Structure 1
Amino acid sequence: MNLEQLYQAFLKSDGVCTDTRKLEPNQIFFALSGPNFNGNKFAAPALHDGALAVVIDQAEYEHPVEGTYFLVDDCLKALQELATYHRRQLGLPILSLTGSNGKTTTKELIAAVLSQKFNLKATRGNYNNHIGVPLTLLSFTSENDFGIVEMGANHQGEIAELSAIAEPDYGFITNFGKAHLEGFGGIEGVIKGKSELYRNIAARDKMVFVNQDDAKQMELTQEMKRLLIGPEMEGNSLELLGTNPRVIFKLNNTEIQSHLIGEHNAKNIRAAIGIGLHFGLSEEQIKKGVESYNPENNRSQWISKPRNKILLDAYNANPSSMEATLTSFKDLDSEAAKTVILGDMFELGETAASEHQAIADLADSLNFDRVFLVGANFYAVNAHDGQIKCSEYEDLVVALQQKDVEGHLLLIKGSRGMALERILDIL
């Protein structure tokens, strides 16, 4: 394959697609394959449905008479190489971020702030893996003057790979927490894996933003170009006025009221403010950006029902995020009784039993009015008085019908695979 020829075809196209069910006319179809599917089989149908060209890696599926084919050694590798090539041609500044908790919320906050000044494009949803990152890069156009690329990982080496594809000019790590412990091999593995972003940026003499109160990050970046995010940044003062019921900051003389709760989200907001300051945004632009962000997609999302007010944080969960959210929820000023519905945390490996027990113990110590523990891992814990264990979702439905929670303030949190947002239909 000639990469330049593929790139010229890309410039004439209306983007790329890896799923023929979502194919739009004049796109280039990349025939990605996996353990249970072979995308090459869909190359000819993609051309029939209006694709400008198709990229395949099995010669037997090439039928040039039917349209434009690019035969490559590996479709995924070709997608990634095209993305990097495109990124270099555009030359726009790119900020990449990763972390154990809060990276998507922080990405959205940073985007909300920087979009007050830049024609910006950022990762959509959680398109943050080895396929999502190149798709994000290929969505950038010459009309954009700033890009934000979120990077997710569940094992070492992944962030290094994604950083090599995106070649970011700036980097930010939200935190090192107890996420994907099974794949990373413990918390030290998490630190090593996530900080691959630092190593990539340091090697290219680029810049990182660092939480000043994170001792480990301060240590890892002490020899790097960095901006410290804290109470004082580039001649500005930033004061946290409160986190209950909403996070409120004072930037110099400007009060910024967010739609988020808790100390953990205060750190995410502070990062967005600090990065905004670095790129020359005014206090009013930063205020507008932060205050415009309303969480959605099951992330720290407030939902009002006729019988309850609900904090839905069911997009994902790990021990670190679970602890932070439970503590913040307990601290909320409310006269209503508080009930928590907690779903299993996945990818914890041999620590699963102890980490689920620790969360059950924490929930008990915080004296919530009701605690529902849902899933096989939580079902195996030694529950405390008043805690209701449900081995699966259907048991939760029955338990909520038996235990009246009308008028309660509810927290719903669990890993994505638990899909606890389903319970909204019966509340």
Structure 2
Amino acid sequence: MNPKIVNSIQKIEATFIDNNFALTLDAVSIDSRSLQNGSQTLFFALVGSNIDAHIYVEDLIDVGVRNFVVTHIPKNCETKANFYVVKDTLMALQDFAAQYRSFFDFPIIGITGSNGKTIVKEWLNFLLSPDFNVIRSPKSYNSQVGVPLSVIAINEQHNLGIFEAGISVSTEMKNLQKIIKPTLGVLTNIGSAHDEGFINLDEKIKEKMSLFQTAETVIYQMDEKIESFIFPIANAFTWSFINKDADVFVTKKKIAELTILNIQHRKEHFDVKIPFQDQASIENAISCLMVLLYFKYDQQTIQNRMQLLFPVEMRLKVKNGINNCSIIDDSYSSDFQSLKIALDFLESQKQSGNKTVIISDIFQSGLTMDELYSKVSDLIISNKISRVIGIGETISEYKHKFENCVTYQNTAEFIADYENVDFSNESILIKGARSFQFEQIVQLLEEKTHETVLEINLNAISYNLNFYKAKLKPNVKIMVMVKAFGYGNGGFEIAKLLEHHKVDYLGVAFADEGISLKNLGIQLPIMVLNPENTSFSAIIQYQLEPEIYSLKGLRAFLKIAAQKELKHFPIHIKIDTGMHRLGFEANTIDELIAALKGNQTVKVKSILSHMATSDDMQHIEFANSQIDLYEKLSSKLIRELQIQPIRHLMNTSGISNFPNAQYDMVRLGIGLYGISNGSEEQKKLENVGTLKSIISQIRAIPAGDSVGYGRKFMAVKPTTVATIPIGYADGIARGWGNELGFVTIKNKKAPIIGNVCMDMLMVDVTEIDCKEGDAVIIFGQSPTVNEIARALNTIPYEVLTSISQRVKRVFYRE
């Protein structure tokens, strides 16, 4: 039990409903899906714009949670747990975290800015952890929810905190300031991120600087505008490239792959090497160096540690592994808080019932080793991990705390024994501190790497799903379409995430798509929208649910159902209301009723139709006529057959444009993947897929030379040409070439020149400072899929679904 959690919850403003359950609290949770929830969990039922966690309280009670913070007590739960009833559960979480923070008195570094917060935090952790027991924000937990969860992880053994604070609108920082209460402030770069949330730059700077109102010192790059918002109580500790009046004056020069910083601080002059040359990394490194100077580190220590800085990977990635394995790559950090996050992610993305964790020694827990590895063991057990492979001297000593565990003293020892360890048909979390170089293990277990990948942001999918859920009326179910390989984004991985989010149905086009998902362990009901009669036996075998759209198809299915002696097998009846593609027309409804009346082999699970113009309000009269006909025909079926089916009519566009026709369920398709037909709605969705490649080769050609097949591009001046290994066989339309389309390199547009080839395309990089191996964005934030579709006079569906399956999909969570 953690008495500080108990004391903190008792100090927030709440009405306590005591049902005599023990307050033996040891953890705080906001995620109803986490396998780590249990009898010692205090659960905050947060209410967001897209989802209300109160609906999961009863499920949490079933798994043993007995203490909740709620705005109201859900029905049927009144006596089953203790409840702290508050006006706003997010505010209660923040007040709780502020109370918890007040129990600790040691230096706290608070970091804010537009860019670089997470990188500076991770680098400071690396630079300071040899001398401090550091608690820091896990990942990029810098939001209104992330900050309190980060601070609640403090324990008695920590003696330095590093927390980042991110805001997107005015007035948010005051909530984070009362939780973090930094003693030292670090302001990183002030850029354009989230500008839309502020009236002007002054308001943005003022809001960010308010984090430091109780800080003793604030570190920032000297700037008159910033200085006007420094609170009188704080000491400014400034640096500059141009102003020698700054506390630290920095000059720089680039040599090979390094940058040498010359530091002038008081009477000291010394050089520091850092392994970066881009401006953002240089500025972030100087912010860290300033903290070392603040803590009075000597020159030699600063020089030794700064040259070891490294690129920070801020994402958990899902990768295809050898022998039908999937890999969760978290091979750059190993601390208790991030382990909890990674295990939750493993559960949401597991592709097999077997789960293996490869884990290094764990650092900076603030606990004794015995306490730490007991807690890690509890996490492993609660997450139902099948096998543990521990690497490191310390975890080897505590091997006895884990079931089915093998340990190695170091990574080299594991690699030497790799051939003797069986990896097949399992999900593998690789979780290691950077010093263990677990990227070597990832390389061993990962399938052959590809230069061209489609990166899928699982956070964005979750966000878009909840965005549309928030538009639904109470009790309206949601079917999500994962047909066509998840609109080109990947079928199973997205289906698994949707199962984690407890959607009601999945929709596929053909039986083989559904069979594949069932074989991979998806348990959600799956509707097959375009079943062929020859697939009916397989549909029955794999417990899929067919859409029936014709009398011929119905009679064929009823015949097979009778032969197999089925009883109440679910089917879905589609009626044609004007799309004129598939479905029972009005003049066949009586025959349909006659065929189904009294038949016990099948059960009409739902009645559906398809809108032809839900995305185009110019055809609103036609759309309303479809709705009216659907209402008439579905009501007749319900009445004559005396059934209570799910009724569903609306697709993505219809969810927003025709909210009064949501019926019992809606079908979410392209919207899940961040594409909307409405320009205003598009602004509110998050980009899901980013198609990336690299520069294979760069060449300079003189004026008069041509590029590509057919000499479609003729250089009118000396031109620098980059070749990218992606072409029309990968799904890039040939029409996107010849300077109509572009890619993005180093945040600049590079026009596609000449014809797109089967496996390659060429771009003009004359005005871009780039080199072979640099990253290339084919689509994502720029160009967007919508931009490409408009230029090609097609629709985003075609652009997305054209991406070949030979393009590797990489799934990640921020």
TM-score per shorter chain, which class? Answer: 0.5 to 0.7
Structure 2 counterpart of 1:409, from 763, 773, 777 = 773
| Equivalent-residue separation in structure 1 for 2:136 and 2:8 (angstroms) | 27
Structure 2 counterpart of 1:115, from 129, 132, 143 = 129
In structure 2, the CA distance between the partners of 1:400 and 1:412, relative to structure 1 (3 Å rule), is farther
In structure 2, the CA distance between the partners of 1:284 and 1:105, relative to structure 1 (3 Å rule), is same
| Equivalent-residue separation in structure 2 for 1:402 and 1:56 (angstroms) | 56
Offset, 1:54: 1.8
Offset, 1:173: 1.6
Structure 2 counterpart of 1:388, from 741, 753, 766 = 741
Structure 1 counterpart of 2:47, from 16, 33, 40 = 33
**Where does residue 15 of structure 1 map in the other structure?**
27
| Equivalent-residue separation in structure 2 for 1:15 and 1:90 (angstroms) | 18
In structure 2, the CA distance between the partners of 1:18 and 1:289, relative to structure 1 (3 Å rule), is farther
| Equivalent-residue separation in structure 1 for 2:806 and 2:203 (angstroms) | 37
Are 1:6 and 2:9 counterparts? yes
| Equivalent-residue separation in structure 2 for 1:402 and 1:417 (angstroms) | 18
**Where does residue 359 of structure 1 map in the other structure?**
none
| Equivalent-residue separation in structure 2 for 1:93 and 1:418 (angstroms) | 44
In structure 2, the CA distance between the partners of 1:135 and 1:47, relative to structure 1 (3 Å rule), is same
Offset, 1:207: 1.9
Structure 2 counterpart of 1:280, from 274, 296, 306 = 296
Higher helix proportion: 1
Are 1:225 and 2:235 counterparts? yes
Offset, 1:426: 7.8
Q: Which one-letter code corresponds to 1:193 in the other structure?
A: K
Structure 2 counterpart of 1:156, from 166, 170, 183 = 170
Q: Which one-letter code corresponds to 1:206 in the other structure?
A: E
Alignment of 1:35-114 (within 5 A): 35-51=49-65, 53-61=67-75, 63=77, 65-114=79-128
CA deviations 1:17-49 (Å, max 9, x no partner) are 101112513221111112332211222322332
Q: Does the CA contact (< 8 Å) of 1:56 and 1:75 recur in 2?
A: yes
Of the two structures, which has the highest relative contact order with CA contacts closer than 8 Å and spacing of 6 or more? 1
Q: Which one-letter code corresponds to 1:108 in the other structure?
A: E
**Where does residue 314 of structure 2 map in the other structure?**
297
Q: Does the CA contact (< 8 Å) of 1:95 and 1:170 recur in 2?
A: yes
Offset, 1:284: 4.7
Structure 1 counterpart of 2:225, from 206, 209, 216 = 216
Q: Does the CA contact (< 8 Å) of 1:30 and 1:75 recur in 2?
A: yes
Identity %: 21
3-state DSSP class of the match of 1:267? Answer: helix
| Equivalent-residue separation in structure 2 for 1:20 and 1:298 (angstroms) | 22
Offset, 1:246: 3.5
Are 1:199 and 2:210 counterparts? yes
| Equivalent-residue separation in structure 1 for 2:280 and 2:806 (angstroms) | 25
| Equivalent-residue separation in structure 1 for 2:195 and 2:23 (angstroms) | 41
| Equivalent-residue separation in structure 2 for 1:29 and 1:416 (angstroms) | 40
| Equivalent-residue separation in structure 2 for 1:138 and 1:167 (angstroms) | 13
Q: Which one-letter code corresponds to 2:238 in the other structure?
A: L
**Where does residue 406 of structure 2 map in the other structure?**
none
| Equivalent-residue separation in structure 2 for 1:219 and 1:23 (angstroms) | 48
In structure 2, the CA distance between the partners of 1:426 and 1:144, relative to structure 1 (3 Å rule), is closer
CA deviations 1:164-218 (Å, max 9, x no partner) are 3322222222122122222224xxx24422432423534x363211213x34324
Structure 2 counterpart of 1:266, from 282, 292, 295 = 282
**Where does residue 240 of structure 1 map in the other structure?**
252
CA deviations 1:262-290 (Å, max 9, x no partner) are 12211110110110121233445444544
| TM-score between both structures, scaled by the size of structure 1 | 0.67
Cα RMSD of the aligned pairs, angstroms, is 4.8
Higher mean displacement: 240-249 or 44-53: 240-249
In structure 2, the CA distance between the partners of 1:48 and 1:294, relative to structure 1 (3 Å rule), is same
Q: Does the CA contact (< 8 Å) of 1:97 and 1:172 recur in 2?
A: yes
In structure 2, the CA distance between the partners of 1:244 and 1:123, relative to structure 1 (3 Å rule), is farther
| Equivalent-residue separation in structure 2 for 1:50 and 1:285 (angstroms) | 50
Higher mean displacement: 227-236 or 261-270: 227-236
Offset, 1:75: 1.2
CA deviations 1:82-125 (Å, max 9, x no partner) are 10001111123222111112222122222221222211111112
**Where does residue 179 of structure 2 map in the other structure?**
165
| TM-score between both structures, scaled by the size of structure 2 | 0.38
| Equivalent-residue separation in structure 1 for 2:22 and 2:740 (angstroms) | 56
| Equivalent-residue separation in structure 1 for 2:720 and 2:138 (angstroms) | 38
In structure 2, the CA distance between the partners of 1:417 and 1:115, relative to structure 1 (3 Å rule), is farther
Q: Which one-letter code corresponds to 1:153 in the other structure?
A: I
CA deviations 1:299-358 (Å, max 9, x no partner) are 9x9999978699x9x999xxxxxxxxxxxxxxxxx99539xxxxxxxxxxxxxxxxxxxx
Q: Which one-letter code corresponds to 1:408 in the other structure?
A: E
**Where does residue 544 of structure 2 map in the other structure?**
none
| Equivalent-residue separation in structure 1 for 2:774 and 2:43 (angstroms) | 44
Q: Which one-letter code corresponds to 1:15 in the other structure?
A: A
List alignment gaps of at least 5 residues for structure 1: 317-333, 339-365, 373-382
| Equivalent-residue separation in structure 1 for 2:24 and 2:784 (angstroms) | 42
| Equivalent-residue separation in structure 2 for 1:284 and 1:424 (angstroms) | 47
| Equivalent-residue separation in structure 2 for 1:60 and 1:417 (angstroms) | 46
In structure 2, the CA distance between the partners of 1:277 and 1:153, relative to structure 1 (3 Å rule), is same
3-state DSSP class of the match of 2:284? Answer: helix
| Equivalent-residue separation in structure 1 for 2:782 and 2:35 (angstroms) | 26
3-state DSSP class of the match of 2:156? Answer: coil
List alignment gaps of at least 5 residues for structure 2: 12-20, 264-268, 317-331, 333-438, 461-694, 700-718, 726-735, 745-751, 764-770, 786-799
3-state DSSP class of the match of 1:89? Answer: coil
Q: Which has more radius of gyration?
A: 2
